[in-house]
Structure 1
Amino acid sequence: MTGLTFTPDPRPHIQLLGGFRLGFGPTPVHVVPGAQRLLALLALRESPVPRGVAAALLWPEATARRAAACLRSSLWRLGKPAPLVVAADDVLTLGVEVDVDFHRACALTADPGASPDAVTVLKAELLPGWAQPWVLAEQDWWHQARLRALEALSENFLATGDRHHAHEAALAAVQTDPLRESAHRTLVELHLADGNPAQAVRQFQRYRRLLRTELGLEPSPHIHDLIRPLLRSAR
């Protein structure tokens, strides 16, 4: 896998990373909010969703009758450009021809390899700005999965001698979760491997200040052990 850039494929594709987008090849398609939510729900679930469940999740403030009507309206709209949604036996599924960037990104978290393009994919947030309960759980999973993948990616780059991209992946993990110690520890180790002890100490000190300010905690002995010899020699 080399990335999630869309190709000139005439099949419909749904982008969930970095924001919602529906397109056919390079051509974007305008989708009303209700239909966007329906497509996103089906893309995230990857399994048949009963109509009643979809209506209740997507229009939680509406009555059951009103929610069902909104669902019918969204399905009618989505039936215009292509068979994006399949309705059978009172359940809904995404059309088999629909490509979803998030599905490929999930596969990347299981095996990030050592592709520079993977850093860009793993840095992207899932449906930023969406706060529906059924989205929040997926966002939390993606947040943790991509952090682990970025750290693994950094290790893979380092194993191949590519310290530049190893540093880029580790930095992306720190930017994604500034309080994640394992990501800071990876950056400290990379600075030490590059022969930059001063930068390693600065990285540690930035993390320690942030941790104290945000949580009133101290870094673990593990990261302290990396820096302690340098702090002794500076005295």
Structure 2
Amino acid sequence: MTDTSPPPRIRLLGGFRLDCDSRPVHVVPGVRRLLALLALQETPIERTAAAALLWPDATARRAAACLRSMLWRLVKPSQPLVLSNENMLELGSGVEVDFHRARRLAAVVAARESPSEEGAVTLLKADLLPGWDHDWVQAEQDWWRQARLRALEALSHRLWSSGDRYQAYAAAMAVVRTDPLRESAHRTLVELHIADGNPAAAVRQYATYRTRLRDELGLSPSPQIHDLVRPLLRHV
């Protein structure tokens, strides 16, 4: 008989969550870390390496015992969450992970292609496992932060070109909220305000950026963004 149950889903963006049969499942911290590690890896990992990453302060023997315990405590949905053998671990082939979709989306945008994914801005603006400070998470968090900022900026320009200024503005604002000193995103917002016929909003955006840049780094905005608002200053 064909299994028609929905696949297990792991959410890493915006916080960890596991859904089985379309319902959220409580996951103990050790199992949560194990599933997150396998979801981030996206390729098989040696059991000894996984144990060392997850329990870095334990002896190898103790870490291996903790790993066996966590595997035993895994939820057992109709489709397996983890495939394991004597040496290797990997996420079950049917498990869906939002971060995998987000990485593919960022790559599509970076390749100057138009994304087909609905809610692209929402997916790209989400933080990866916020509040997690493990070393093996932070490397991915740093990569994702830069990848999604570049993707959001490219997506903003693409949406603007296609006439969707609302989503273009949302994408640029997501960049500014993540990196308030990123001038290219502020410049896009200023240009969008000008295109919408809102010179006062454009000047306010510029002034907010200029003040923050001066207060935090002691720097001034570049001539490129200043030239955008200079014709407006005497009229606002």
Aligned counterparts of 2:58 and 2:222: Cα–Cα separation in 1: 49
Specify the SS of the correspondent of 2:119. helix
Unaligned runs of 5+ in 1: 1-7
Aligned counterparts of 1:147 and 1:79: Cα–Cα separation in 2: 35
Structure 2 match to 1:158: 160
Superposed CA offset, 1:103-159 (max 9, x none): 001111122436661111112111111000000011111111111111112111111
Contact 1:22 / 1:29 at 8 angstroms: preserved in 2? yes
Specify the SS of the correspondent of 1:93. strand
What CA RMSD, in Å, does the superposition of the two structures yield over aligned residues?
A: 1.8
Does the alignment pair 1:83 with 2:80?
yes
Structure 2 match to 1:31: 27
What is the correspondence of 1:1-235 to structure 2 with a 5 Å cutoff?
A: 10-78=6-74, 80-81=76-77, 82-112=79-109, 113=114, 117-231=119-233, 233-234=234-235
Deviates more, 1:81-90 or 1:183-192: 81-90
What code does the residue aligned with 1:168 have? A
Give the structure-1-normalised TM-score: 0.90
The Cα of 1:229 is off from its aligned counterpart by 2.6
Specify the SS of the correspondent of 1:111. helix
Superposed CA offset, 1:30-54 (max 9, x none): 1111111111011101111111111
Structure 2 match to 1:4: none
Unaligned runs of 5+ in 2: none
The percent identity for this pair of structures is: 67
| Cα distance change on mapping 1:195 and 1:79 into 2, 3 Å | closer
Aligned counterparts of 1:217 and 1:9: Cα–Cα separation in 2: 56
Contact 1:184 / 1:204 at 8 angstroms: preserved in 2? yes
Aligned counterparts of 1:164 and 1:9: Cα–Cα separation in 2: 37
Give the structure-2-normalised TM-score: 0.90
Q: Where has structure 1 moved over 3 Å in runs of 4 or more? A: 79-82, 112-116
